[in-house]
């Protein structure tokens, strides 16, 4: 792998428009460099930095996009409150020598008259697709746009949003987008809570309870090694979360690791997925079996 264009740890090149982005990438291409994209909504944390590290191993030049995508937020969701600490984000990217940051304005991504939606069927029928109507259309639309804007060799997505990862793999394959999709495991706090930009909104007492999500996933997944009655294990998981102080559980389900259909057999590769509310905040997590 060649050294980074940003070998000194100075600020990444900043692209505020698709034109800037393409100019930067065209120069890299001229130099024979391979290019990787790490799409984010900003409010960068250790989880994003892990994605950056993996990408830097795979390609010569890494670009991080920062865009809070309005199309993936439901009407009652937290679009307006979503954190946007741009300066801090850029400083973090400089500290890990990311080569460029793409930070477009919403009006540029979705100008007046924008009328295309990318919709992936099948994988979107369950879990977050069912509970957050329109969410994955918003994700699929922005990711398709980012991939076509940057035309990178590779892009990476975290396993915390495992359903999102599978949907992106599907759309890339269906639309013949020439990009390699990588994934990285979930980054966790020392108490097991999956790291997320939204964790900062948990009250101190909810933050203390929140690791129960991962602990419950782990304990029910462990039971599933010998007990194949997945539906009854799921009910036990939901009860355990409610007892731990979660006020509602959207889903707690064993699902096939590729199709996301409900898991039925012990010999199938599967994951256990959960989404639950604490203090009005929705947390998601999953574990492999
Ligand atoms: O996972 C995210 O942060 C977002 O869904 C993504 C992939 C950047 C699209 O907005």
* pLDDT digit string, tens, across residues 205-214: 999 999 999 9
Ligand 1 neighbour 4 (Cβ under 6 A)? no
Q: What span, in angstroms and rounded, lies between the C-alpha atoms of 271 and 2?
A: 37
pLDDT at 3: 40
> Which one from 37, 39, 40, 48 is the annotated catalytic residue?
48
pLDDT at 10: 82
- Residue-wise pLDDT for 93-119, tens only, equals 999 999 999 999 999 999 999 999 999
Q: What span, in angstroms and rounded, lies between the C-alpha atoms of 176 and 221?
A: 36
pLDDT-derived band at 5 (thresholds 50, 70, 90) equals low
Structure tokens that stand for 228 in this block: 């194949």
- Residue-wise pLDDT for 231-289, tens only, equals 999 999 999 999 999 999 999 999 999 999 999 999 999 999 999 999 999 999 999 99
pLDDT at 76: 86
Percent of the chain with pLDDT over 90: 93
pLDDT at 2: 35
| CA 255 to ligand 1 center in whole angstroms | 22
Considering only residues 48 and 10, tell me which one the structure prediction assigns the higher pLDDT: 48
Mean pLDDT of 220-238: 97
Q: Could you tell which of 38, 142, 284 is best to mutate to test the pocket of ligand 1, judged by most ligand atoms within 8 Å of the CB?
A: 142
Residue 62: C-alpha distances to residues 46, 67, 182, 196, 215 (Å): 17, 16, 13, 22, 35
Ligand 1 neighbour 139 (Cβ under 6 A)? yes
| CA 286 to ligand 1 center in whole angstroms | 17
**289: nearest Cα among 241, 256, 262:** 256
Ligand 1 neighbour 143 (Cβ under 6 A)? yes
Q: What span, in angstroms and rounded, lies between the C-alpha atoms of 138 and 162?
A: 16
Q: Could you give the residue range(s) of every CATH 3.40.50.620 domain in the chain?
A: 8-184
pLDDT, averaged across the chain: 95
CATH 1.10.10.60 fits 197-288, yes or no: no
Q: Could you tell which of 164, 165, 181, 187 is best to mutate to test the pocket of ligand 1, judged by most ligand atoms within 8 Å of the CB?
A: 164
| CA 239 to ligand 1 center in whole angstroms | 31
pLDDT-derived band at 4 (thresholds 50, 70, 90) equals very low
For the chain, report the end-to-end CA distance as a whole number of angstroms.
Answer: 34
Q: Could you give the residue range(s) of every CATH 3.30.1300.10 domain in the chain?
A: 197-288
pLDDT at 1: 36
Q: Inform me whether the pLDDT recorded for 172 exceeds 60.
A: yes
Q: Inform me whether the pLDDT recorded for 78 exceeds 90.
A: no
Domain at 8-184: CATH code: 3.40.50.620
pLDDT-derived band at 7 (thresholds 50, 70, 90) equals low
pLDDT at 9: 61
Q: In the chain, how long is the greatest CA-to-CA distance?
A: 59
3-state secondary structure (DSSP) of residue 228: coil
- Residue-wise pLDDT for 27-70, tens only, equals 999 999 999 999 999 999 999 999 999 999 999 999 999 999 99
48 in active site: yes
Q: Could you tell which of 65, 72, 139, 155 is best to mutate to test the pocket of ligand 1, judged by most ligand atoms within 8 Å of the CB?
A: 139
Ligand 1, atom 3, lies closest to the CA of: 40
């Amino acid at each position: 792998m060649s050294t980074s264009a940003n070998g000194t740890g100075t600020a990444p090149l900043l692209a505020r428009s698709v034109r800037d982005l393409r100019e930067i990438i065209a120069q890299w291409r001229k130099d024979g460099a391979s290019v990787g994209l790490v799409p984010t909504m900003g409010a960068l944390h250790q989880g994003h930095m892990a994605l950056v590290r993996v990408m830097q191993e795979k390609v010569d030049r890494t670009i991080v996009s920062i865009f809070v995508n309005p199309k993936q937020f439901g009407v009652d969701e937290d679009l307006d409150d979503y954190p946007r600490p741009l300066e801090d984000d850029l400083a973090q990217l400089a500290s890990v020598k990311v080569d460029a940051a793409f930070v477009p304005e919403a009006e540029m991504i979705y100008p007046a008259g924008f009328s295309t939606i990318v919709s992936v069927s099948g994988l979107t029928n369950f879990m977050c697709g069912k509970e957050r109507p329109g969410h994955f259309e918003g994700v699929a639309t922005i990711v398709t746009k980012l991939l076509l804007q940057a035309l990178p060799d590779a892009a990476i997505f975290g396993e915390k949003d495992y359903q999102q990862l599978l949907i992106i793999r599907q759309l890339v394959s269906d639309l013949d987008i020439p990009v390699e999709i990588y994934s990285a495991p979930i980054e966790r706090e020392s108490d097991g809570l999956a790291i997320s930009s939204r964790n900062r909104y948990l009250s101190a007492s909810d933050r203390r309870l929140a690791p129960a999500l991962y602990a419950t996933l782990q304990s029910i997944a462990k039971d599933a090694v010998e007990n194949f009655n997945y539906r009854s294990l799921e009910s036990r998981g939901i009860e355990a979360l409610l007892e731990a102080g979660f006020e509602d559980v959207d889903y707690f389900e064993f699902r096939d690791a590729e199709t996301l259909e409900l898991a039925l057999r012990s010999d199938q590769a599967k994951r256990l997925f959960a989404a639950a509310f604490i203090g009005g905040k929705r947390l998601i997590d999953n574990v492999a079996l």
